[in-house]
Amino acid sequence: MKFFLDTANIAEIEEAVSWGVVSGVTTNPTLYAREGGKLAEFHDHIKRICEIVDGPVSAETVTLKRDEIYAEGVELAALHPNVVVKVPTMPEGLAATKMLFDEGIKVNMTLCFTVPQALLAARSGAAYISPFIGRFDDISEDGIEQLASVVTAVNNYDFGHDVEIIAASVRHPAHVLQAALLGADIATVPMGVLEKCIKHPLTDRGLESFLADWEKVKNS
- Which residues of this chain interact with ligand G3P, rule CB under 6 A? 6, 26, 28, 132, 134-135, 168-169, 188
Q: Please state, as a whole number, how many other Cβ atoms lie within 10 Å of the Cβ of residue 210.
A: 9
Task: Classify 170 in phi/psi space as left (phi over 0), alpha (psi -120 to 50) or beta.
Answer: beta
Nearer to ligand G3P, 34 or 205 (CB): 34
Distance CA(160)–CA(180), nearest Å, equals: 24
Q: Which of 38, 47, 65, 86 is catalytic?
A: 86
Question: Minimum distance between the CB of residue 206 and ligand G3P, rounded to whole angstroms?
Answer: 32
Give whichever of 82 and 169 is closer to ligand G3P, judged by the CB atom: 169
CB of 128 to ligand G3P, least distance (A): 11
Minimum gap (Å) between residue 162 Cβ and ligand G3P: 21
The DSSP result for 91-128, as a single string, is HHHHHHHHHHHHTT--EEEEEE-SHHHHHHHHHHT-SE
* Smallest distance, ligand G3P to C-beta of residue 43, A: 19
CB 108, CB 58: distance < 8 Å: yes
Is 86 designated active site? yes
Q: Which is nearer to ligand G3P, 28 or 124 (CB)?
A: 28
Specify the 3-state DSSP secondary structure of 20: coil
* Alpha-carbon radius of gyration of the chain: 19
- Asked if residue 30 lies in contact with residue 51, where contact means CB atoms within 8 angstroms, the answer is no
Q: Which residue is nearest to ligand G3P (CB)?
A: 169
Nearer to ligand G3P, 6 or 72 (CB): 6
Catalogue the active-site residues.
86
